[in-house]
Structure 1
Amino acid sequence: MEHNIKHYPCYVNGQWIDASNGATFNVVNPANEEVWATVPDCTEEDVNLALTTSKEAQLSWQMLPAIERARYIMKIVDALKPKREHFARLLVLEQGKTLAEAFGEFDDTLNYLTYSAEAARRIQGEIFPSDSPNEQLMITKVPYGVCLGLCAYNFPLALIGRKIGPALVTGNTMILKAHEATPITASEFCKVVDEAGLPPGVINLVSGAGIDVSSQLVTHHLLV
């Protein structure tokens, strides 16, 4: 029934937003094909906002020591832990997993994020001997910049953890675009990001029902 349908916004630059033109699309429970939620059907304007704010946030994020970035990731982990039941039941409703599988996906997500945070101490360059006297050759690892996380429908939460952990700990910012069949988990995950206090723009979320949002993201000059 329509009065039970809940709306889940996108998350851009630390703010909850809807599509600039007010458009939405429905999310369907795969078990009974009932509409139970709506999310924004984002526009090119919304995509550009996500891209520009991710770019603006990236330099200051990169300048943080890796161990500080790792602490933010662990804040996400700590904020997620009390919500295990909530996310597991959300995965059942949105993706159609059994409850046991949903709990497993939640636990895997914590492990992915923790592993990435622990890798902060292992981000190292290399020094090579030179063919010339009094010279050393050094390789320093630097962030890519703004990264894009296109998430498939089958693991709505775990794929977020697998993507944002390595990207963030190495100094990148990320735009998430969830699959149109399972966008709610991403919106709820961003509530945790907000709770953990990540700087605005480090993680942005947009959603879209068709190919427009994805095609705009993958062809934008900031990401190619």
Structure 2
Amino acid sequence: MDGDLNTTFGHLKFDLCVSELMGRSDDAVIGRGLNSPDPLVREAFLMAYDYISYVTAKPGVPLCPAPSRASAALRHAGDELLIRFPIFFRRWPRVFQDVTEHTACPTLLSILDEHFAPTRRRDLAWSAVLSVFVLAGQLALHCQDRGMEDITPQIQECVGSYVERVICPEIRDKGGWSGFISRFGEKQNLEDHVVKVCCWSLLLLCVGILSYFIWTRRKT
């Protein structure tokens, strides 16, 4: 019974978070991709909406947990990229300096089309897929800082549509988003692993000692 309640509560939290992602615009087109019958496409839009909401969240505003494993992997990978390669993020304000509400999405698509031009596209690397979402997040953050936060839902829908059109066909026969999760999902560090191994070893040792103690008592 408790398990059913926890599962139901988890689904309700997920639905509320998705509703919050979609609730930033009254435009009927915005959020449509989140209801796609294709799970691969639906996940792409969910990642786009969640990641951009994540990076543009105002300080002090509580965040919903990532709505899927792929979304969690995207959040983690984006944060890691910022920590390890901050120079990657410093160049974009100059690239976006002339962007307006009317040119934000065309500018994004132009950059992505250049990056993923058929003449340059070979085997699609997961790092390239990550760069699509991170770039869109930086554009949304730039627009928000310039007082154009109303454009955020359009950027979310724009990058979702781009991933549906360009990325999804490439990964459909490669296990879908599972490869992205394997590549960028948060992994345990060595210290955590060693601690867990030690704990299990101690537990097994205690069980062995207890079993031996019970066996010797019965014997006597």
So what's the TM-score if we normalise by structure 1? 0.29
Q: 1 or 2, which has the higher strand percentage?
A: 1
Q: Which has the larger radius of gyration?
A: 2
